Amino acid sequence: MKIIHAIFLGLIEGLTEFLPISSTYHLFLATQFFKIPLNEFVKLFNVFIQGGAILSVVWLYRREILGKLDLMFKTLISFLPSALAGFFLYRPIKDIFMIQHWLQTLFFLFIGALFFLFEGLIKKGSIILEKKISSLTLFEAVLIGTSQIIAFIPGVSRAGIVLLIMMLLGYRRADAALFSFFLAIPTIIGASLFDLFKSRHSLNSFFGQVFPLSLGFFISFIVAMMAVRWFVAYLQKHTLNLFAFYRLFLGSLILLWFYWK
């Protein structure tokens, strides 16, 4: 892998992991744009740099993680449905959803349309956002975690689906984003460790690629920290319409690209 590729992929991971626009989908687009072969090392690299993004959340919210044990317990409970589903559906996810790029794009567009729909319902008063994360119940935690299974499909976005479900339950956007950050910690760590375990036989051949791995990890960490801070501040005063516009615009361009290439 070239250094410029490691830098660019690290930037994309850090920027998109916690925004509701699907980091997996953007990493796929980046590998296509740069014509990076999707070999075992690139797959390992994409898993490894997620660790940098997760570390940024752990660092930013270390006091909350250590001080709000009740919320952390609910986060772990919320993680369990997707953990079980990921274990039993690993092969279908890898063999079907990870290679059906047109399907990923359709879901990318569909979630963007849902953002518009939900924001329209909020504007009409059909959905009222007034609940804080402190009022989260165990039942709601399980429901949110179960909905996260849909995000196994690249293009959906784990953060996006958590935001939508929590908004439907009446949680304020910034509080929903905060819980999506917390839920990302066990979810991404668990998925990454499982991926690494499945690829364990080829890990020894990548020891010579420590520098690009470290560089991508560090860039992802720094950029994710800035993205998280911006996203929380943005949601305190704005809607999800910006991300809806982005999804519909980019998704339409990608569909045209699939059609003409």
- pLDDT (tens digit per residue) in 243-258: 999 999 999 999 888 7
Mean pLDDT for 153-176 is 94
What's the DSSP call for residue 94? I
The structure tokens listed for 196 are: 């690494």
pLDDT above 70 (res 202):
no
pLDDT above 80 (res 216):
yes
pLDDT at 130: 95
The Cα 92–Cα 112 span in angstroms is 25
pLDDT at 97: 57
pLDDT at 28: 87
Q: What is the number of domains present in the chain?
A: 1
pLDDT at 95: 59
pLDDT at 98: 58
pLDDT band (50, 70, 90) for residue 93? low
The share of the chain scoring above pLDDT 70, in percent, equals 90
User: Residue 47 is part of which domain span?
Assistant: 3-260
Mean pLDDT for 69-88 is 89
Side-chain-side CA neighbours of residue 229 (13 Å):
9
116-119 long-range contacts, CB within 8 A, separation 24+: 116/241, 116/244, 118/164, 118/167, 118/168, 118/240, 119/239, 119/240, 119/241, 119/244
Mean pLDDT (the chain) is: 89
pLDDT at 206: 63
pLDDT at 190: 86
Q: Which of 34-48, 73-87, 114-128, 193-207 has the lowest mean pLDDT?
A: 193-207
